[in-house]
A and B are shown apart, each in its own frame.
Chain A
Amino acid sequence: MIDFLISFLIFLSGLFILLAALGLKRFPDLYCRLHASSMASSGAKICSMGAACLYFWNSHFGVSIKFICSLIFILTTAPLAAHLIARAGYKRGIKPCDLTAHDDYSKVTTV
């Protein structure tokens, strides 16, 4: 049973990565691509590291704890990196696509 759960988490991780890559390929805009890539890659990291944590829980408990700690670190830094890229791209002057409804950041006077 636990083997099936681990394998299904691995499968789900691969599916998340494929969906992120598909969004990266198909979306029209930097910000849409960033949204797809960042969110689905967080899901992939949760699934693969959760599978590793479950797999090593009985045999190597310390390795399991290490996977949990690195998962916490990675989940903290992934949205931060996405926010940095989006802000840098906006300040660089990359325009959103025409379908964008609201652009609140243009009202903020910066730089």
Chain B
Amino acid sequence: MLDLIQGFFVDSFFVFIILALFLIINRLRLGPTLADRVVALDLFSTLILSAIVVASLYLSDSLYSDAALILGIVSFMGTVVFARFIEDQEND
């Protein structure tokens, strides 16, 4: 468990990711094309991954490392599938 003095840094991490969450959801809502939304989803999965890793430090529990690895793999697969889907859409 980290000290209370360093708790400022961890608290500011959570404030930062909540602010970033609003910006990402805004882009996800009004992205002009599908590719913008896929980029926003990719950044969203990065945010969740960092939050999982920091929660693993915050709770001093090493079980969350598996969740971080699996989330990285799944987000990469999702991005690849979405890229194939964007590429195969017909041009208009």
Are B23 and A13 in touch, CB under 8 angstroms?
A: no
What are 25 of the A-B contact pairs (CB < 8 Å)? A3-B2, A3-B3, A6-B6, A7-B6, A11-B10, A14-B15, A18-B16, A18-B17, A20-B20, A20-B46, A21-B20, A22-B23, A25-B26, A30-B39, A41-B43, A41-B46, A48-B53, A51-B57, A55-B57, A70-B68, A84-B80, A84-B83, A85-B82, A88-B35, A92-B91
For chain B, what secondary structure do more than half of its interface residues adopt (helix, strand, loop), or is it mixed? helix
Are A20 and B83 in touch, CB under 8 angstroms?
A: no
Are A30 and B36 in touch, CB under 8 angstroms?
A: yes
Are B46 and A66 in touch, CB under 8 angstroms?
A: no
B50 / chain A contacts, CB cutoff of 8 Å: 13-14, 17, 44-45, 48
- Across chains A and B, the number of contacting residue pairs, with CB separation under 8 Å, is 161
Chain A contact patch, size range: 35 or more
Are A49 and B53 in touch, CB under 8 angstroms?
A: yes
Interface size on B, residues (CB 8 A): 51
8 smallest A-B Cβ distances: which pairs?
A: A14-B16, A7-B6, A14-B13, A21-B20, A7-B9, A84-B83, A21-B23, A11-B9
B10-52 with Cβ < 8 A to chain A? 10, 12-17, 19-21, 23-24, 26-27, 33, 35-36, 38-40, 42-43, 46-47, 49-50
